[in-house]
Amino acid sequence: MAEAKLAEKPVAATGAEVLAVKDLQAWYGESHILHGINFNVKAGEVVTLLGRNGAGKTTTLKSVMGIIGKRSGSIRFNNDEIIRASSDRIARKGIAFCPEERGIFSSLDVRENLMLPPTVRAGGLSLDQIFTLFPNLKERLTSQGTKLSGGEQQMLAIARILRTGARFLMLDEPTEGLAPVIIQQIGHTIARLKSEGFTILLVEQNFRFASTVADRYYIVEHGKVIDGFANSELSANMDKLHTYLGV
Amino acid sequence: MQALYAQLLVGLINGSFYALLSLGLAVIFGMLNIINFAHGALYMMGAFVAYFLLNLAGLNYWWALLVAPVVVGIFGMILERTMLQWLTGLDHLYGLLLTFGIALIVQGVFQNYFGSSGLPYAIPDQLKGGVNLGFMFLPIYRGWVVVFSLVVCLATWYLIEKTQLGAYLRAATENPTLVRAFGINVPRMITLTYGLGVGLAALAGVLSAPINQVRPLMGADLIIVVFAVVVIGGMGSIMGSIITGFALGVIEGLTKYFYPEASNTVVFVLMVLVLLVKPTGLTGRAA
């Protein structure tokens, strides 16, 4: 069966730098969390930040999104400097964020949750395309958002940012706490989005999952990027990786 | 029986004001996390704007219904931008004290210029007179206040519960950071929300002017009861504050008929009972 294309836009050529993060530092109140993060993401790639709990992966995503109040260094998105921009401006530039805690709103039903993020660009997925990806959501449109199962909530959290037309997605631990069959479905979805030309920055604890979708990895430790390699170099780096992640 | 119906009508009128004011308080509390003690003073300003429009600009009641909420709403948005926004993230107590101070200042200024006695504001010609319903005589203006307030309350409910704008509002009440990260200018939305809540108070002030006259302390007297209504209804729910507002007005009216001595305290007795049994209020969600 031929599957309908998800987006009308042509697949972006790999190579152009979409996100370039240089010497990113960030603070929560008085505590200094990021001590100089450096990495980049190219168009059409899936890049995964790996690292132990508390290494600074989530803080890195939140800093790119402009949610962390105090940050310094440089974050360039499509060559625009966004280190000082407010998060609503950053979202309007075409970055979409799916937070670790999913952020499904309990006072909104599923449809309202799905329709909440405003369109920032033309070319987002239509509702039909979204229901092709996530058939479960279609049957639950009138349910309260937080009445969905964990897996359905994760799908809703991803689905709603696909509507907006943003082509750069940041997914924070999309597989956390989910059953293997759901993790598989999310893996298929990410692969599908990649094939449609979306660029994805992923944070994962689940290394086995990440290895099924990622093009490149960066290792984050104590608020710094300490290593990075491509998926093709994965087997050569397995020993190092085990040391970094302590698995 | 005539007296019973008359008290019921008075109850519905008061209930209209309770509903409009507690609705605004609920909306403001939801978005700004501020217990807006200035609400009574802003209600009073609404009535004064109507008075000024009529006597200084020759603009009648119908203009006042339109202009007063906008003028007072803008005043409220200036308050929010210059003062209230700095209290984000602090304990409720700070917002309560600040808005209480603002209320005292605003009321003090008006008292300085207008004393404490009421200024007359005539019922508009189109709404003068009354109709005999058979079982009671209904002054048209009072009927108008009840119906119009109900329509405004339901329209506000619809706006918040059934529209995309309302979805932004509800979502931002839960998680403003994430809503902002979706590309919505949440600070601006908060300012507009305060303006909306305050505008509802001003609208109630205009409606009240022909019934209760225009007095600098008209809001101070009312706001205490309204806060009791809010405590009983619970802060969490829009429809809850509308229903509680009208219901408590009616209960007050019935008390006036059956046991007048308790009519000024019945709301507070209910408040105490609700606080003992269900501290989040009848329709409130746990914080």
- B126-171 pLDDT, tens per residue? 999 889 888 888 999 999 999 999 999 999 999 999 999 999 999 9
Question: Does residue B285 have a pLDDT over 70?
Answer: no
**Residue among B175, B182, B185 minimizing CB distance to A117:** B182
Non-local (6+) Cβ contacts of A14 within 8 A are A42, A43, A44, A45
Q: How far apart are the first and last CA of chain A?
A: 40
Contact B153, B20 (CB under 8 A): yes
Question: Chain A partners of B163 at a C-beta cutoff of 8 Å?
Answer: none
Partners of residue A216 on adjacent β-strands: A47, A230
Per-residue pLDDT at B117 exceeds 90: no
Give dist(CA B274, CA B287) in Å, integer: 16
Inter-chain Cβ pairs, chain A and chain B, closer than 8 A: 57
- Beta bridge pairs of residue A81: A76
Report yes or no: B190 at the A interface, CB cutoff 8 Å: no
Asked whether A44 and A22 are in contact (CB, 8 A), the reply is: no
Kindly list the residues from chain B whose CB atom is less than 8 angstroms away from the CB atom of residue A100: none
Kind of pairing between the strands at A224-230 and B130-132: unpaired
Q: What proportion of chain A, given as a percentage, has pLDDT over 70? A: 94
> CB-based contacts of B25: which residues, under 8 Å, 6+ apart?
B35, B36, B39, B197, B226, B227, B230, B235, B241
Q: Which ipTM was obtained for this model?
A: 0.90
Average pLDDT over residues A51-63: 94
- What percent of chain B is predicted at pLDDT more than 70? 98
Q: Is the pLDDT of residue B286 over 60?
A: no
- Computed from CA positions of residues B235, B238, B241, B243, in that sequence, does the dihedral angle turn out positive or negative? negative
Output the pLDDT for position B161. 92
Q: Which is higher by pLDDT, A63 or B34?
A: A63
What's the whole-number average pLDDT of chain B? 92
The answer to whether B170 touches B160, Cβ cutoff 8 Å, is yes
What pLDDT shows up at residue A14?
54
Q: What is the DSSP string of A57-86?
A: HHHHHHHHHT-SSEEEEEEEETTEE-TTS-
pLDDT in tens, A10-21: 444 457 899 999
Contact A83/B at CB under 8 A: no
Is pLDDT at B287 greater than 60 in this prediction? no
- Beta-sheet strand order (sheet of A17-28): A31-42, A17-28, A70-77, A80-81
> For chain A, what percent of residues have pLDDT higher than 90?
81
The total of other beta-carbon atoms located within 10 Å of residue A34's CB is 27
- Confirm or reject contact between B70 and chain A (CB < 8 A): no
Question: pLDDT band at residue A181, thresholds of 50, 70 and 90?
Answer: very high
Q: Which string of b and e fits B133-146 if b means at least 16 CB within 10 Å?
A: eeebebbebbbbbb
Asked if A88 has any chain B CB less than 8 Å from its own CB, the reply is: yes
Residue A103, chain B, CB below 8 Å: the answer is yes
pLDDT at A3 (0 to 100) = 46
Q: How close is the nearest chain B Cα to the Cα of A89, in Å?
A: 6
Q: What is the pLDDT of residue A119?
A: 94
pLDDT bracket for residue B235 (50, 70, 90): confident
pTM: 0.87
What is the mean predicted confidence (pLDDT) over A24-35? 94
